[in-house]
Amino acid sequence: MVWDWLPTYMPLLINGLWITLTLLILSTVIGMIFAVPLALVQALQSPYLATPARAFCTFIRGTPLLVQLWLLYFGLGSLFPMIPGIRQSFLWPVLREGYFYALLAFIISVAGYEGEIMRGAFLGVPKGELEAAKAFGMSPWKVFRRIWFPRAFRLALPVLAGETALTLKATPLAATVTVLDLFGVSNKIRQDTYRVYEPLLLVLVAYVVLYFFIVWAFHWYEKRIPQKR
Partner 1 sequence: MAQPGFPEILSLGDQGYGDELLRGALVTLQISACAYSIGLVIGLAGAMGKLGSNRIVRWILALYTTIVRASPDLIIILLLYYAGTGLLNSMLTARGYTSVHVSGFAAAVAVLAFMYGAYSTEVLRSAIQAIPVGQIEAAKAVGMNPWLRFRRIIVPAMLPLAIPGMGNLWLNVTKDSSLIAVVGYTELLLATRQAAGNTKQYFMFFLCAAFIYLAITLVSNQAFKRIEARFRRGMPKLG
Taking each helix axis from N to C terminus, what angle separates 197-224 and 182-193, rounded to the nearest 10 degrees? 170
> Where in 27-56 is the site for partner 1 (CB under 8 A)?
none
Residues in the chain: 229
Residue 72 DSSP code: I
Q: Is 70 in the site for partner 1 (CB under 8 A)?
A: yes
Contact with partner 1 (CB under 8 A): which of 46, 63, 89, 139?
Answer: 63
User: Does 16 engage in binding with partner 1 (CB under 8 A)?
Assistant: no
By beta-carbon proximity to partner 1, the closer residue of 124 and 150 is 124
Question: Minimum Å distance from CB 140 to partner 1?
Answer: 28
Q: Which residue, 208 or 217, is less far from partner 1 as judged by CB?
A: 208
Q: How many Cα neighbours within 13 Å face the side chain of 10?
A: 5
The Cα-based distances of 224 to 136, 153, 154, 165, 196 in angstroms read 28, 14, 11, 20, 43
219 binds partner 1 (CB under 8 A): no
The reply on whether position 102 binds partner 1 by CB under 8 A is no
What residues have CB less than 8 Å from 126, skipping those under 6 apart? none
Query: Using CB under 8 A, which of 74, 136, 216, 221 touches partner 1?
Result: 74
Binder of partner 1 out of 33, 67, 132, 217 (CB under 8 A): 67
Return the DSSP state at 225.
Answer: S
Q: Which is nearer to partner 1, 62 or 126 (CB)?
A: 62
Q: Smaller CB distance to partner 1: residue 1 or 135?
A: 1
Spatial CA neighbour of 9 closest among 151, 191, 216: 191
Report yes or no: 26 and 88 within 8 Å, Cβ to Cβ: no
Name the residues that contact partner 1, by CB under 8 A. Answer: 58-59, 61-68, 70-71, 74-79, 168-173, 176, 183, 196-197, 200-201, 203-204, 207-208, 211-212
